[in-house]
Each structure stands twice: as C-alpha cells, then as structure tokens.
Structure 1
Amino acid sequence: MDRSSKEKLVGDLHGALLAASCLVVTHQVGLDADEVTSLRRNMRAAGCSFKVTKNRLARLALAGTKFEHLSPMFTGPTAIAFSKDPVAAAKVAVEFAGKNDKLTIIGGGLDATKLDASGVKALATMPSLDELRGKLLGLLQAPATKVAGVLQAPAGQLARVFNAYATKGEAA
C-alpha cells in the first residue's frame, strides 16, 4: 500500500470515527472470508461498519476524535466496529462473538467514555435508539388512549341503557 492510499484510508476512517458515537475494538484471529463477509453484512444491516485495521493507521485515525484514549487497545490482530447508533455496533459484535470464538471483544468507547469488554457486553443488552423511541412514543400515546376510552364509556353506557329501554318497549 503506497503512502497516498494510506493517507486516504486514515482520512476516511478519521471522518467516520468523528461521526460515530460507538466504537468496539475486537481481536479477530482465524476468521475466514465467509465469516468476515457475514459479519460485515450483519453490521451493514444494523447501520454499522466493520473494518480490519492496521494498528498504526488506526491510531493515526483516532487522533483528534473522542475515541483517542482507546489507542492502547490497538495491539495484535485488531478490527473495529463503529456506528452512529450508540448500541448497534456493540449489539452486533457481541452477538457474533457469542457464536464465533474467533472474534474477541477487547473493549470500546461510547462517545468519550472508555468501556472494557464487560462494558461493551452490557451496552449490547440495552435497547437500540429506535426501540427506545418506540417505547417513549407508546408511553406518550397511552394516556391519550385511556382518556379517550374513559370519555367514550359514559356515552356507550347511555346508548346501551336506551337500547335496553327500546327493546323492552317493543316487547311490551
């Protein structure tokens, strides 16, 4: 790889890390091409990216980002997963690592917070941003639905009473 290609790679990775809110650092030893393709496909489906990186280039890309303090984690056969969603990259990486022993979670970062492997696994159990938005929307709509039900109940009861009197009058 020539110097200009390395500079472009570092620049692209730096830009992606500036936009990311979650970074997961992994060691991947012995993953074959099909397994990496499967992992990348899962990451893309969740809105994440997965890159096998050269440690020196990754450290250069981390400089000036909120993940700069994670540089010591970049030793050995490193790959990173990152996403704008604070949970998505951790969720996919932990799920894949649970099925495949060749991928090991080393640690990561959530914005400026450093996470160890157990922290990343705990982050993966949290609901995603979209799931939380859906729950919040459901909670906000529930009171309005209940109020509408309460307001309609007396009218429904009156209608049933009138109907009962009408059917009683017809029977007599």
Structure 2
Amino acid sequence: MSKFVKEMIISEIESRIGETRDFVVVDSAKLDAITDNNFRLKLHEKGIAALTVKNSLARRAFANAGVEGMEESLQGPSTLVWGGEDIVALSKEMSKWAEEIEDLTIKGGSTEGTSLTSDDVEKLSKSPGRMELIGEIVSRALGPGAQLAGALLGPAGTLAGQIKTISEGEES
C-alpha cells in the first residue's frame, strides 16, 4: 500500500472517530457475512459505530487524534466500536453481543486515555450507566427535602381540616 493511500485511510479513520475518546475493540473476524452485517445494523440502530481497521493505521490515527491507551487492544484482527450514551452503555451492548455471538470476542478498549482489558470492559458492563447514576444522585438530593416538606405539610393539613370543620359547624 502506498504512503498516499495509507495517509488517506488514516485521515478517514480520524474523521470517523471525530472527538470520541471512548472505544471498545472486538475481534469479529470469525463472523460470517450475514451475522456481521446484522451485528453492525443493530449497533447502527442504537447509535453505535463499528469500523474494522488495520492496526498500524489505527494506531497512527489515534496518535494524531490524541487518543491514548489503545496499543494493547490493537493486536490481531480488530474492529473499533464507539458511540452510544457513554462507555458503560457501550460496554453493556458489546458484552451482550459477545454472549449472543460466540465468535465475537472483546479484546479491550480505552476510555479517557485509560487502557481497558477485556475484563475491565466486562466489569464496566455490570456497573450503572450515566443516567442511572444521575437519577440516583437526584433522588438522594431530593430525599431530605421531600421528608421535610412532608413533615411540614402533615400538621398544617391536619390544622386546616380542623379549622374547616369548625367553620362549617358555625355556619349551620
């Protein structure tokens, strides 16, 4: 492959990954064409992109884009997977697919410059996602306020009911 073609491929990889810094690397080389196509279509429906790359060109593209931590994962046949809500959602999706398709193996990944092994990706898939954590934080923050409001409104509601009963009794 000529240097010009290599540079074109590297720039194409850079343009596809854009500002993304969270990746999972899988080995999908053993998949038949139909399974691989269905796999990619289902990922695309969820906003996840997959790109099979030549490792040396991907390393150069990542170096140019400032993405670190991918060297260990880029060994042998590699398909880069990125997108989705966050790295946890991406890990959950890839772990689900690795269970469904026995020939698909997770090799590792990278998140914010930290290298991930296949075990790390598996552990991430079992942790709560971004939206789940935000919901948990909000519920914990609102919990004491809700309890305080309930404590204040309880006696006030009782007092209002008694005043209403007394006022209705005076009218009749």
User: Normalising by the residue count of structure 1, what TM-score does the alignment of the two structures yield?
Assistant: 0.78
- CA shift digits 1:12-46 (9 cap, x unpaired): 42255462232111111332344334333443444
Counterparts in 2 of 1:1-172, with a 5 A limit? 6-17=6-17, 19-65=19-65, 67-83=67-83, 85-162=86-163
Instruction: Compute the displacement of 1:162 (Å).
Output: 4.3
User: Normalising by the residue count of structure 2, what TM-score does the alignment of the two structures yield?
Assistant: 0.78
Q: Unpaired runs of 5+ in structure 2?
A: none
When the two chains are superposed, the root-mean-square deviation of aligned CA atoms in Å is 2.9
Identity %: 29
Q: For residues 37 and 160 of structure 1, do their structure 2 counterparts lie closer, same or farther at Cα, with a shift above 3 Å needed?
A: farther
Instruction: Compute the displacement of 1:137 (Å).
Output: 2.0
Instruction: Compute the displacement of 1:159 (Å).
Output: 3.3
Q: Unpaired runs of 5+ in structure 1?
A: none
Contact 2:68 2:115 in 1 (8 A): no
Give the paired residue count.
Answer: 170
Instruction: Compute the displacement of 1:87 (Å).
Output: 1.6
Q: For residues 8 and 128 of structure 1, do their structure 2 counterparts lie closer, same or farther at Cα, with a shift above 3 Å needed?
A: farther
- CA shift digits 1:80-127 (9 cap, x unpaired): 112372322212111100111111011111212112111110011122
Which letter maps to 2:110?
A: G
Contact 1:90 1:123 in 2 (8 A): yes
Q: Secondary structure at the match of 2:40?
A: helix
State how far apart, in whole Å, the 2-side matches of 1:45 and 1:139 are: 33
Q: Secondary structure at the match of 2:71?
A: helix
